[in-house]
Structure formats: structure tokens, C-alpha cells
């Protein structure tokens, strides 16, 4: 049979494709619908948090930080309750990461404050002696992309039925969406010291660092 | 069916072009890799102190995908395609000179590839990413990549369609596997919705069709198999051609190659689950990933043993032919790496190794030892035949070989120690069951190993520069080869 296949490339390819695809079908299809169910009480990301998540993804924070607490005592002692599938139901893409150069961030909102994050992003070694994280000064000067975060929230609501309420996500009203994001950013900006961030807020803009902290605070 | 391959004059124009991008992206990818290694040893190498806000372009997070994409898709795929445009004519007994259509496809393939590489570099520097490992590029580039893949597929099936050799040689099986598997995996994992459909925001942003656990599952089903079908099956295709050619001996066993091939194809995809052990995917899936990873030893070792036994009766060539030496080292590293991977997939070992530098070490002993050595050996074999000149210096190959081997050993030993140290420190508890170490003390403990790793990587890079120098000198000033030798590679006396 194999000699025959080697002389008939078309059938060789078909047979080969089925052989390769088989594992994927068996592993992926059975649990697919179940794994996407959110845990009770899980809220979709706010527009500000989504903007922060996009900063997190852009700077590739997950190259060094995981967001997956494994069910071992050493991990739950260090980071909190182990991760549940339903916690990630609104994560597109997932942010588990594959390497812990720094600590896990899945529940970082439970034990780090806005003030801590601000100092840490400016001067990691000043806050954590011996840290090998680089500082991120540009996050304090760049403005977060609220428009794209709004687009993303609308898209997931439209396509995947992500349950946003109208006061979280106004339809086709970018100006209102921005006002909502600014209101949410207020509490974070008030807790920060950086003058550039405060000045941006006065102009009606949200700095990237503010959005990022909103996202990190949402991890709990 | 005629078998007058001797009268064919092969066309190497496209193979040469891909050889150039292979060299260029090898240098870029490895240079960035060395910088990343030193950034982890000394964070000052992130240069934020000097560059301030512009530091974003050289910060670890931005550069890391440039390193991985540059090596996997810039360097490695170029090497694979250079070999494809070289090998396919020979094993199919055709010349692209006979078929202007195939030649044109080859050029389209190459220039589209160069365009994509350029776009990839620009967007990754800019932080435009969909942020899934080894598939970071944004959706407009993804579409171009699909076109690129189709062009390669047309070339492949076109060449197979007009072949004079009726039966497909082993290398072609593996090339076809690479083509099919990557097509399936890449498209499935890349199903995205551009958020511009809402009418707002950036045109480059998109959301994954899958969320959370499902996204993780699809990602690692793909992620592991970028390794399987770029770093493994395509490289096996190369070695199955160049090992017997270089040794002047036939492949040891046809049956072994047959069994290894079909079992590798069947088993490989199951193993993706081993990236998700102790995650939130269902337990049975984690177990499947673990078990099939161990099973994977069989086809992998079958292939490697087939390579090594091809040299039976030819072992004396190890001392005279440095290319054979490189291929042997590559095969041994393949065995070594495909034993290490399954060990890391055992649940109890994975609990220790996952998230640590041991994984980084594993990837690199495979990539540096197996993949890159195979590609360099292939290039050393092809260059004299493509350019009609002898290799510039056998001695330089030997020097390069030892420098790089030293580099690899420093790399994986330091990363093993670092990873296991880290894993053990994370879980260490005192007599009362409290955690013994703060996270930062586990980071500080790794400092010496990060320095050793940086040195190892730098050595490997130096060796690669020697390789590049040797290739350039061979092309420009090697002695002319009058007639292509049947077995061993022509090497100049100096």
C-alpha cells in the first residue's frame, strides 16, 4: 500500500492529511463548547480594561509573566486560588504565557496597588531590588487607544454575544464610550503621581499606563 | 520515464536567493537572541536608560518575537526553501529550466516572502501583534502568508506533476507533510475577526475566534507543531537527502523510514497537549499529551537511527569530512532533544519544569544542535554545486563546529541548572509548610546561569559568522569545480 501511495502523490497527500488531522479532531472538538462557559459573576472587560489588555499584549508582558495558577499548594500559597477555565471566557487571546521570568499575574489585582504598579513600571529595581524587568517610561507619555478598545468590545458583543450592558457599552456612540472610560480612569489617576499622566487626563485623554493598571487591577 | 538526469542542467537561481535570506536572517535572529540573553543577565541592556521613551523598540518584550519569528520563519524557512528548490529538481529528475511556469512561481514565492519578512520586522518593532506565540503577525500579513503558502504549494504540486521519477523520495514525503500540516494548523489557529468590522478603531486589531481555554488549546495544538512541521519534518527532509549524498551511501533502511514517517505523522499532533499540563484544559487531554509525547520517542529515534546507520562502513569520513561531522552531531542532538522533550512531558517532571528556563534550554538544544547544524551542513553541501566552486576552507568548518558545539553545551547546561533550580525554589517550603523563597530570590539565583547562557549564545553566533564568511568566500573566490563529484563535497585544500 505504501509503495502504491508513493507513486500516487494525490492519494498520498489525502491519506497523510487525514493521519495528521485525526489527533486535532479528537482532542479539540469534544470539550470545546463546555470550556468557553464563564464562571458565575464574571464580567466582560470594560473598555478601559480592554485598552489596558491591548497595552499588555503590545508590550508582550506575557513573554515573562504567566496568568495561570496551577493547582499546587506552592502556587496557591504564592498567588491565590488556582485558575478555573471559566475565568478566561472573555480572554481573546488567552494570556497564560509559557514562561515565568517574573511572577504570575493572574490575581495580581488582589495584592498590588495602583501606586505600586506606577513605581514599578517606572523603576522596577527601585521597587523590587534585584528585578530584571526593564522600566517602561513610554507608557506614561503615550495615550491609550480607547477607540480600538471600543471597537473590540463592540465586535465581541456583536459576534460572540459577550454580555455587555448598555451602560457599559453604548452602541455606535464613541463619545459616550470615551466618557465612561474616563470616569473609570479617574480613580486610578487620582492614585498616581506622574504629572504627565495627570496632565493628559485633564486634556481628556488616558495614558497607556492608566489603562494597563486598570487591566492589572481587574485580574483577581 | 527517462532517467537521463546527467543531461539536465539544474536551475539554482531561486535556491540561491533563499540562501541569501537564510544567511541574513540567521545573523539578525541570532544577534537579537544574544542581546535578549544579556538583557536577562543585566537589565541595563534594555537600554531604556539611554533611549528613554524610544526604549520600547529594544525592550525584551518587543524583541522576543523578533528573535523567534526571525529564526523560525526568516532563517529556518529560508533554509528549507533553499533546499526545496535544490532537492526537488534532483529527486524528481526535472530542471526548472524546462518549466518557465515553475521558475516564475519560484520567483513570486521568493519576492512575496521578502515582502512579508519586511512587513513582519516593521510591525513587530511597532508592537503590532496578535500576541500568540510563534504566530504574532497581524491579520493582513497572515493573509499574505496564506497566499505565500499557496504559491509554494502550487510549485510543489506542479513540480511533482511533471516529474520523471515516478516514486516519491523520502524527503518529498516530509516536504508534503510540512506543507499540509502547517496549512491546516496555521489557518485554524489564525481565525480572527478584525475589529474594524465595528466601524471603529485600528484596522490592524483583531480578536481570536476562540477564547480562554479553547484559545490556549488551539494555540498549543499549533505552537507545538510549528516545531513539529517546520523544525522537525522539514529538517528531516533535508537530512534524508544530504546525509546519504554526502556519505556516498544509501539510506540504511527504507522500512525504518516508512514506519518512522507514518508514526511521526500520526503521533505528533497529539503531543501539543503537553504544553497545557496542569492548565484548565480537561485532564484526559493533558494525559493524552503526556502519553503521546513519550510515544513520540519511537518515530524520532527511528529516524535518527536511520540517519546514523546510513554511515555504516563510512565512519572514517567523520575525520575527513566536517560536513558529515555536522550531520552526525545534528542527528545526535535530534535524539537527545526528542528524549528530553518526552521527559519534560511526564506530569511530575512537567510540574517542576513548566514555566522555567529548562524549557528554553530544551528548545535551544534542539534548534541550535539539530536544526541549525542541519541547515548549515545542507548549505555547505549545496554551495559548491550551485556555484560551481569548491568550499573555501575545511579548516574553518572544523573551527566553527567546535566553537558552536561549545556554545550549545554552555547554553543547555546553564539552562538546565537554571530551570531546575528555579522549579525547586518555587516549591521549597520550611518545616512549617511556608514558602521558603520570595519570587525575587528565585530570580536572583539565576544570574550566573544567565551570564553563562549569554556567553554560550555569543559563541554560537561567532561560529555562525564564520559559517557566513566561509560561504561568502566559497561563492566569490573558491576554486572552480570542473565536474560535480558524485559523493563527497569538494573542499579546497586550504
Higher-confidence position of B278 and B4: B278
Radius of gyration, CA atoms only, chain B: 23
> How is residue A164 written as a grid cell?
455587555
Q: Bridge partners of B193?
A: B207
What predicted TM-score, i.e. pTM, was given to this entire model?
A: 0.94
Query: Which residue's entry shows cell 513570486?
Result: B108
Contacts of B56 in chain A (CB under 8 A): 59, 136, 138
Helices and strands in chain A, H and E counts? 11, 0
In this complex, the residue of A63, A68, A159 whose CB is nearest that of residue B64 is A63
Average pLDDT over residues B140-157: 97
Please answer whether residues B96 and B11 qualify as being in contact, where contact means their C-beta atoms are separated by less than 8 angstroms. yes
Contacts of B55 in chain A (CB under 8 A): 134-135, 137-138
Contacts of A126 in chain B (CB under 8 A): none
Q: Which letter does DSSP use for residue A98 in this model?
A: S
Average pLDDT over residues B26-47: 96
Q: Which of A13, A27, A44 to mutate to test the interface with B (most CBs of B within 10 A)?
A: A27
Cβ partners under 8 Å of residue B149, min gap 6: B179, B182, B183, B186
Place A211 in a pLDDT band, splitting at 50, 70 and 90: very high
**Phi/psi class of residue B491: alpha, beta or left (left: φ > 0; alpha: ψ in -120 to 50)?**
beta
Q: How far is CA A27 from CA A22, A31, B270, B271, B286, in A?
A: 9, 8, 8, 10, 10
Could you read off the pLDDT of B86-130 as tens digits, one per residue? 999 999 999 999 999 999 999 999 999 999 999 999 999 999 999
Higher-confidence position of B449 and A35: B449
Model ipTM? 0.94
Closest Cα in chain B, distance from residue A142 (Å): 9
The pLDDT of residue B404 is above 70: yes
Please answer whether residues B260 and B306 qualify as being in contact, where contact means their C-beta atoms are separated by less than 8 angstroms. yes
Please answer whether residues A47 and B195 qualify as being in contact, where contact means their C-beta atoms are separated by less than 8 angstroms. no
Place B1 in a pLDDT band, splitting at 50, 70 and 90: very low
Helices B254-268 and A9-28 sit at what angle, rounded to 10 degrees? 40
In this complex, the residue of A19, A78, A156 whose CB is nearest that of residue B207 is A156
DSSP result, B97-145: GG-HHHHHHHHHHHHHHHHHHHHHHHHHHHT-----TT--S-HHHHHHH
In this complex, the residue of B62, B129, B195 whose CB is nearest that of residue A151 is B195
Pairs of residues, one from chain A and one from chain B, whose beta carbons lie less than 8 Å apart: 274
Determine which of B5-19, B59-73, B354-368, B420-434 has the lowest per-residue pLDDT on average: B5-19
In this complex, the residue of A9, A125, A138 whose CB is nearest that of residue B168 is A9
Task: Report the C-alpha gap between B68 and A55 in whole angstroms.
Answer: 21
pLDDT of amino acid B7: 65
Q: How far is CA A114 from CA A133, A191, B276, in A?
A: 18, 7, 32
Contact A20 B184 (CB under 8 A): yes
Query: A107 in helix, strand or coil?
Result: coil
pLDDT of amino acid B52: 84
Could you read off the pLDDT of A35-69 as tens digits, one per residue? 788 999 999 999 999 999 999 999 999 999 999 99
Q: Which of B168, B212, B270, B444 to mutate to test the interface with A (most CBs of A within 10 A)?
A: B212
Please answer whether residues B342 and B293 qualify as being in contact, where contact means their C-beta atoms are separated by less than 8 angstroms. yes
In this complex, the residue of B180, B212, B434 whose CB is nearest that of residue A17 is B180
pLDDT of amino acid B3: 46
Contact A92 B272 (CB under 8 A): no
Place B483 in a pLDDT band, splitting at 50, 70 and 90: confident
Contacts of A150 in chain B (CB under 8 A): 198, 200-201
Higher-confidence position of B477 and A186: A186
Q: Which of B68, B207, B227, B356 to mutate to test the interface with A (most CBs of A within 10 A)?
A: B207
Would you call B9 exposed, middle or buried from its count of C-beta atoms within 10 A (0-12, 13-18, 19+)? exposed
pLDDT of amino acid B49: 79
Could you read off the pLDDT of A67-78 as tens digits, one per residue? 999 999 999 999
> How is residue B234 written as a grid cell?
522539514
- Smallest CA–CA distance from B287 into chain A, residue: A27
CA atoms within 13 A on the CB side of B323: 26
The distance in angstroms from the start CA to the end CA of chain B is 43
Contact B268 A70 (CB under 8 A): no
Closest Cα in chain A, distance from residue B428 (Å): 8
Closest Cα in chain B, distance from residue A152 (Å): 5
> How is residue B126 written as a grid cell?
511597532
Q: Which of A87, A94, A130 to mutate to test the interface with B (most CBs of B within 10 A)?
A: A94
Q: What percent of chain A has pLDDT over 90?
A: 87
Task: Report the C-alpha gap between B365 and B333 in whole angstroms.
Answer: 7
The pLDDT of residue B20 is above 50: yes
In this complex, the residue of A20, A27, A66 whose CB is nearest that of residue B265 is A20
Task: Report the C-alpha gap between A140 and A207 in whole angstroms.
Answer: 6
In this complex, the residue of B177, B201, B359 whose CB is nearest that of residue A16 is B177
Cβ partners under 8 Å of residue B304, min gap 6: B331, B332, B334, B335, B338
Q: Which of B68, B280, B283 to mutate to test the interface with A (most CBs of A within 10 A)?
A: B280
Strands (E), B42-92: none
Greatest C-alpha distance within chain B: 80
Contact A154 B195 (CB under 8 A): yes
Contact B360 A125 (CB under 8 A): no
Amino acid at each position: 500500500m505504501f509503495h502504491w501511495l508513493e507513486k500516487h502523490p494525490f492519494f498520498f497527500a489525502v491519506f497523510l492529511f487525514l493521519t495528521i488531522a485525526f489527533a486535532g479532531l479528537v482532542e479539540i472538538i469534544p470539550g470545546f463548547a463546555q470550556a468557553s462557559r464563564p464562571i458565575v459573576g464574571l464580567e466582560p472587560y470594560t473598555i478601559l480594561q480592554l485598552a489596558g489588555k491591548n497595552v499588555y499584549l503590545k508590550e508582550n508582558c506575557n513573554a515573562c509573566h504567566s496568568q495561570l495558577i496551577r493547582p499546587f499548594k506552592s502556587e496557591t500559597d504564592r498567588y491565590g486560588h488556582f485558575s478555573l477555565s471559566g475565568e478566561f471566557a472573555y480572554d481573546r487571546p488567552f494570556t497564560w504565557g509559557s514562561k515565568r521570568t517574573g511572577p504570575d499575574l493572574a490575581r495580581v489585582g488582589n495584592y498590588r496597588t495602583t501606586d505600586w504598579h506606577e513605581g514599578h513600571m517606572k523603576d522596577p529595581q527601585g521597587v523590587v531590588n534585584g528585578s530584571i524587568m526593564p522600566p517602561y517610561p513610554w507608557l506614561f507619555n503615550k495615550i491609550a487607544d480607547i477607540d480600538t478598545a471600543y471597537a473590540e468590545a463592540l465586535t465581541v458583543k456583536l459576534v460572540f454575544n459577550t454580555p455587555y450592558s448598555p451602560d457599559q457599552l453604548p452602541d455606535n456612540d464613541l463619545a459616550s464610550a470615551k466618557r465612561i472610560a474616563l470616569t473609570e480612569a479617574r480613580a486610578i489617576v487620582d492614585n498616581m503621581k506622574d504629572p504627565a499622566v495627570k496632565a493628559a487626563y485633564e486634556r481628556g485623554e488616558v495614558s497607556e499606563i492608566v489603562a494597563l493598571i486598570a487591566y492589572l487591577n481587574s485580574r483577581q | 520515464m527517462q532517467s537521463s538526469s546527467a543531461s539536465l542542467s539544474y536551475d539554482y537561481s531561486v535556491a540561491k536567493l533563499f540562501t541569501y535570506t537564510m544567511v541574513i536572517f540567521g545573523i539578525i535572529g541570532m544577534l537579537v537572541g544574544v542581546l535578549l540573553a544579556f538583557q536577562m543577565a543585566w537589565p541595563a541592556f534594555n537600554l531604556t536608560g539611554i533611549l528613554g521613551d524610544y526604549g520600547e523598540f529594544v525592550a525584551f518584550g518587543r524583541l522576543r518575537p523578533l528573535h523567534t519569528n526571525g529564526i523560525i520563519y526568516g532563517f529556518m524557512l529560508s533554509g528549507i526553501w533553499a533546499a526545496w528548490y535544490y532537492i526537488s529538481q534532483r529527486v524528481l529528475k526535472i530542471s526548472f529550466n524546462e518549466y518557465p511556469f515553475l521558475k516564475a512561481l519560484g520567483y513570486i514565492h521568493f519576492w512575496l516572502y521578502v515582502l512579508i519578512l519586511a512587513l513582519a520586522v516593521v510591525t513587530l518593532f511597532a508592537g503590532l501583534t496578535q500576541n500568540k506565540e510563534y504566530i504574532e503577525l497581524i491579520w493582513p500579513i497572515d493573509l499574505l502568508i496564506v497566499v505565500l503558502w499557496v504559491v509554494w504549494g502550487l510549485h510543489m504540486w506542479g513540480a511533482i506533476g511533471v516529474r520523471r521519477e515516478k516514486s516519491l523520495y523520502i524527503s518529498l514525503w516530509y516536504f508534503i507533510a510540512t506543507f499540509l500540516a502547517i496549512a491546516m494548523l496555521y489557518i485554524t489557529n489564525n481565525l480572527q475577526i478584525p475589529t474594524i468590522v465595528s466601524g471603529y478603531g485600528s484596522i490592524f486589531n483583531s480578536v481570536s475566534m476562540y477564547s480562554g481555554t479553547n484559545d490556549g488549546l488551539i494555540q498549543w495544538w499549533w505552537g507545538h507543531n510549528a516545531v513539529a512541521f517546520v523544525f522537525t519534518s522539514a529538517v528531516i527532509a533535508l537530512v534524508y537527502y544530504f546525509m546519504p549524498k554526502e556519505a556516498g551511501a544509501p539510506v540504511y533502511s527504507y522500512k525504518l523510514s516508512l514506519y518512522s514517517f507514518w508514526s511521526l505523522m500520526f503521533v505528533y499532533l497529539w503531543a501539543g497537549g503537553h504544553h497545557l499540563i496542569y492548565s484548565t484544559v480537561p485532564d484526559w487531554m493533558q494525559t493524552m499529551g503526556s502519553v503521546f509525547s513519550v510515544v513520540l520517542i519511537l518515530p524520532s529515534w527511528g529516524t535518527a537511527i536511520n540517519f546514523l546507520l546510513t554511515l555504516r562502513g563510512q565512519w572514517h569520513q567523520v575525520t575527513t569530512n566536517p560536513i558529515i561531522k555536522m550531520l552526525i552531531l545534528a542527528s545526535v542532538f535530534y535524539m537527545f532533544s526528542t528524549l528530553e522533550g518526552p521527559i519534560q512531558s511526564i506530569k511530575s517532571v512537567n510540574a517542576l519544569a513548566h514555566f522555567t528556563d529548562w524549557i528554553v534550554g530544551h528548545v535551544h538544544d534542539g534548534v541550535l544542535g539539530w536544526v541549525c547544524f542541519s541547515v548549515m551542513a545542507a548549505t555547505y553541501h549545496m554551495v559548491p554545486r550551485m556555484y560551481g566552486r569548491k568550499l573555501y576552507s575545511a579548516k574553518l568548518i572544523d573551527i566553527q563546529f567546535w566553537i558552536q558545539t561549545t556554545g550549545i553545551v554552555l547554553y543547555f547546561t546553564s539552562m538546565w541548572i537554571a530551570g531546575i533550580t528555579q522549579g525547586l525554589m518555587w516549591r521549597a517550603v520550611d518545616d512549617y509548610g511556608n514558602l521558603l523563597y520570595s519570587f525575587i530570590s528565585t530570580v536572583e539565583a539565576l544570574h550566573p546561569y544567565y551570564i553563562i547562557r549569554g556567553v554560550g549564545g555569543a559563541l554560537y553566533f561567532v561560529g555562525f559568522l564564520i559559517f557566513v564568511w566561509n560561504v561568502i568566500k566559497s561563492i566569490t573566490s573558491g576554486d572552480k569545480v570542473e565536474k560535480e563529484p558524485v559523493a563527497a563535497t569538494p573542499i579546497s585544500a586550504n
